[in-house]
Amino acid sequence: MKRALTVLGALALATTACSGSGGNVPGAGTGKGPVTVRWSTWGSAEDVKVYEKFTEDFQRRHPDIRLKLESVAKYEDYHPKLLTQLTSKTAPDVIFVGDDYIGKFVSSGVITPLDDKLAGPDSKSRPEDFFDGVYGGAKRDGKIYAVPNDTNPEVLWYDKKALKDAGITEDPATLNESGQWTMPKYLDMNAKLKAAGKAGSIFWNWYGSTYSMINGFGGKVWDGGKFVATTDTKAREALSTLAKGYQDKTFLSADTLPDSNGPSTQFLKHKAGFYAGGRWVVDSLRKGGELDDYDIVPFPSPTGDPMPGAVAASYLALNKDTKLPKEAFTFLTEFVGKEGQMLRLQGGGAVPSVKGAEQVVLAEGYPKHAQTFIDVRDTGFANYPEEVAVPGLTAAINEQLLKVWSGKVGFDQGMTELQQLVQSKLG
Amino acid sequence: MAVLTRARPRAGRRRAPGVRNRDGWWAAFFLAPQVTALAVFLVFPLGFAVVLAFMRWDGLGRKEWAGLDNFAAQLSDPEFGLAVWNTVKLALLTVPVGLALALLIALALNNVRGGSFYRVLYFMPVVTSSVAVALMWQIILAGDESGVLNNSLRSWFGLTPPDWLGDTGWVIVSIAVVTIWSSLGLNVVIFLAGLQTIPPQIVEAARMDGAGSLRIFRSVILPLLSPTIFFSTVVAVISSFQAFDQIYVLVRPEDNEGARTIVYQVYELGFKDFEFGMSSAAALILLALTLLVTLVQFAAQKRLVHYDS
């Protein structure tokens, strides 16, 4: 009996030892000392350094709140982790959500509607401070569930030297200002670049480039809740032009270029005329380019009139199960507010999603037509709500299109498969 | 002698019912942690996965009954077909080559001096993190100028090597090489253990009867080692069917469909597409496939494996 009691005692001790400190619930405050607000995002150690300044400033102004950043290095790995955290009720208080997943998180009810809070007295960012187009899937039935923390309007960077080498005398930005920046003109420049032994354009294989091209042909991607990119005549013409361009190397897919000779390297070496990207390209150019050689222009339209361009956005949302709703919102509203964005976006990276912070983009005077970023943001669109409501749909569309671009699948077959794929994902 | 006599259990001794009950409770008490852990961490998740395979669930919202829809969808999905084919190719490449190589090395090490040193050397990849292994091989096999292998092939032999990890056709071969390299040590150690159970007298007797080394290997060593080979084959096939972590780090199958395996398909459906029902159905199909292949192996071993020395 004595031995049994000893064993029981040992087991009890072991159980206690293994149970950890019961009161240490993540994010929960004790009422004494500062509380810790956990927040999560993606990005490498270098990427997340841009948040250090904001964090220091925030903690100085709110000594009762500590911020704990939980970052995942790769975007592809971030949402799977977030999903498991949300399912197990261990997700951070404030969460970054990508524009291709926001729709799902909204519809599943795991994030808090923000309308009242954003309109409340503690808010540093009102609902109307953000452009309607960039809410994308973060808005549902008129309710705001997440706020764009910054944006990256997709524009065409162009290399003046490469264009000149190819015998192109017209300047795309000047053409744009005079309302003559049309799709035929752009394709003609690409053909000249190709004839000069260069690539016309480099695109990342994502909706920003693809759907901007479809828009440039006057086509539609989604219409009335239906995916029509493969059936709409003009959209199909755009996709066919892209497919032919990729196969005859007029266009290069940045996704398939080797790391050692990637899109930035090719662009810096004047091997391509255009490179589709956001404000983040500035960082690449600063690392080795002659800055004056480069400028930006929106994607061309069919007639030269301005048209909406794609805007990449990521969102900041409040975990519905947060134990610190007040402190978490304080962080959220300041992070996405004007001052917060200006602090974070100095020098490059992205374009503020909030009105009134434009000078952070324009102050440096680079690129020459930096105003284009603002124009595209103000009239642009985030990925379609129908598309972002289905997790993995955007990635599946891109994957299928890459097969078409690379010629692994013929164009007509590829389009049929794409339509079937979207329909099967939509259920 | 007297001690031995007393220690021998007395036949026909009956214990009182109270004592039996008390022993039973103690047994249950000591087994409880293990049984509980098994139930919580093995039986429940397995049962949950089986139930989920018949449901639609995005991991966040409500579950809905789907019947056999998830299985039908997976079995008619070309991506799942591709994943099965890639998995089978990987097994066909890694199991025979990996085991043959391990056997050859084990035979060499069996009679070599300083065998422990080589055993440690070959076993090192097994105890190395699979992510570290994958990252190291990524540097070696990279298709661009940074790839150690391709750089060497270009500069030393003037060859134009393929992009080992980027080419859809070559990627599975590259994965097989990495898998064989990282699992070689384990198989070598298992084979060495098997070889050391073969009585040297039998080998000596065969040699005295005039058998050469090849004949001894074919007629003595191989039959006596067949239970070990069978065990290693079963384990290797199951491992190759479950390949994931190294492939995920080495290639990222979303970038190269030649590397899409069944477990990656399970991961993608669940954690990227948020289709846990579909993901569970794919996992159950994998379980059924593994079971089927293992049963075939067990059926074959009746004819091929010798358990008598």
Integer Rg of chain B from CA: 26
CA distance to partner chain A, nearest, from residue B33 (Å): 10
Q: Which two tokens stand for residue A73?
A: 């290095």
Which of helix, strand or coil describes residue A254? helix
Would you call A80 and B58 a contact, using CB atoms and an 8 Å cutoff?
A: no
A256: chain B residues, CB-CB within 8 Å = 166
Q: A4-8, B55-59, B164-168: which range is least confident on average? A: A4-8
CA distance A339 to chain B (A): 34
Residue B1, in any domain of the structure = no
Taking alpha carbons only, the member of B77, B185, B61, B80 closest to residue B127 is B185
Please determine, for residue A27, whether its predicted confidence score (pLDDT) is greater than 60.
Answer: no
> Which residues in chain A are contacts of B59 at CB distance < 8 A?
83-84, 86-87
What are the angstrom distances between the C-alpha of A291 and each of A53, A77, A295?
Answer: 27, 34, 8
A294 pLDDT more than 60: yes
Would you say residue B309 lies in a domain? no
In a domain, B61, yes or no: no
- Chain B residues closer than 8 Å to A105 by CB: 60
User: B90 and B41 in one domain?
Assistant: no
Query: Is position B57 within any domain?
Result: no
Measured CA to CA in angstroms, residue B108 lies from A16, B111, B115, B225 at distances of: 51, 6, 9, 15
Q: Which residues are CB-contacts of A95 (< 8 A; sequence separation ≥ 6)?
A: A39, A40, A82, A111, A316, A317, A318, A319
Task: Share the mean pLDDT of chain B.
Answer: 89
Say whether A260 and B146 touch across the interface (CB within 8 A).
Answer: yes
Same domain, B156 and B37: no
Instruction: Provide mean pLDDT across the span B76-104.
Output: 95
- Picking from A269, A270, A213, the residue whose alpha carbon sits closest to that of residue A237 is A213
* CB-based contact A391 B146, cutoff 8 Å: no
Given a cut of 50, is residue B3 above it in pLDDT?
Answer: no
| Whether A276 contacts A202, CB under 8 Å | yes
Q: Three-state DSSP class for A158?
A: strand
Q: Name the minimum distance, in Å, from the CA of B144 to any CA of chain A.
A: 6
Q: Are residues B95 and B223 in the same domain?
A: yes
Pair (B73, B137) in one structural domain: yes
Q: Which of B254, B267, B275 sits opposite A399 (nearest CB)?
A: B254
Chain A: nearest CA to B141, how far in angstroms? 13
Query: Which residues in chain B are contacts of A392 at CB distance < 8 A?
Result: 268, 272-275
Q: What average pLDDT does this structure show over B264-276? A: 93
Model confidence at A31, in pLDDT bands (50, 70, 90)? Answer: low
- Report the pLDDT averaged over residues B248-272: 90
**pLDDT bracket for residue A220 (50, 70, 90):** very high
Q: How many cross-chain Cβ pairs, A to B, lie less than 8 Å apart?
A: 62
Per the model's pLDDT, the better-predicted residue between A190 and A19 turns out to be A190
pLDDT of residue A86: 93
Question: B interface mutation test: which of A76, A265, A388 has the most B CBs within 10 A?
Answer: A76
Residue A118 in this model has a pLDDT that exceeds 90 = yes
User: Do B211 and B91 sit in the same domain of this protein?
Assistant: yes
Q: Is the pLDDT of residue A17 over 70?
A: no
What pLDDT score does A178 carry? 96
Cis peptide before B199 (omega within 30 of 0): no
Compute the distance between CA of residue A172 and CA of residue A216 in angstroms, rounded to an integer: 15
Q: Mark whether B94 and B48 lie in a shared domain.
A: no
Asked if A179 contacts A304 with a C-beta cutoff of 8 angstroms, the reply is yes
Both B148 and B262 in one domain: the answer is yes
pLDDT digits (tens, 9 = 90+) for A172-190: 999 999 999 999 999 999 9
The amino acid sitting at B7 is A
B158 by DSSP, 3-state: which? coil
- B163 and B292 assigned to the same domain: yes
Number of domains within chain B: 2
CA distances from A173 to A77, A278, A294, A310, A362 (A): 38, 16, 11, 18, 16
B73 touches chain A (CB under 8 A): yes
Mean pLDDT of A252-272: 89
Q: Which of residues 222-261 of B touch A (CB under 8 A)?
A: 252, 254-255
Same-domain status, B75 and B205: yes
Distance CA A22, CA A3 (A): 30
Q: State yes or no: pLDDT of B9 exceeds 70.
A: no
CA distance A257 to chain B (A): 9
Q: CB–CB of B272 and A80 under 8 A?
A: yes
pTM: 0.79
Domains, chain A, ordered by start: 26-152+312-379 (3.40.190.10), 155-309+392-426 (3.40.190.10)
Ramachandran category for residue A339: left, alpha or beta (phi over 0 → left; psi -120 to 50 → alpha): alpha
Residue B141 lies inside a defined structural domain of this protein: yes
Q: How far is B142 from chain A (nearest CA, A)?
A: 9
Query: In terms of residue numbers, what domain contains B22?
Result: 14-52
Taking residue B213's Cβ as centre, other Cβ atoms within 10 Å add up to 11
Q: Nearest Cβ partner of B146 from A87, A259, A425?
A: A259
Task: Kindly report which listed range (A92-96, B5-9, B167-171, B182-186) carries the lowest average pLDDT score.
Answer: B5-9
Q: What is the mean pLDDT of residues A378-404?
A: 90
Same domain, B220 and B146: yes
The answer to the question of residue B234 being in a domain is: yes
CATH of the domain at B98: 1.10.3720.10
Complex prediction ipTM: 0.73
B221 and B299 part of one domain: yes
For residues B110 and B187, membership in a common domain is answered with yes
Tokens standing for residue B144: 């661009």
Q: Cα distance from B76 to chain A (closest Cα, Å)?
A: 12
Mutate to test the interface with A, among B23, B62, B272, B275 (most CBs of A within 10 A): B272
Looking at the predicted structure, is the pLDDT value of residue A10 above 70? Answer: no
Q: Which of A72, A102, A104, A266 to mutate to test the interface with B (most CBs of B within 10 A)?
A: A104
Mean pLDDT of the A28-39 span = 76
Residue A15 pLDDT grade (very low, low, confident, very high; cuts 50, 70, 90)? very low
pLDDT of residue A179: 96
Residues of B in contact with A395 (CB under 8 A): 254, 272
Q: Tell me if chain A has a CB within 8 Å of the CB of B271.
A: yes
Let me know if residue B58 belongs to a domain: no
Q: Does position B100 have pLDDT exceeding 80, yes or no?
A: yes
**Residue B64 resides in a domain:** no
Of residues A9 and B194, the one with the higher pLDDT is B194
Give the C-alpha separation, A417 to A397, whole Å: 10
The radius of gyration of chain A from alpha carbons, rounded to an integer in Å, stands at 24
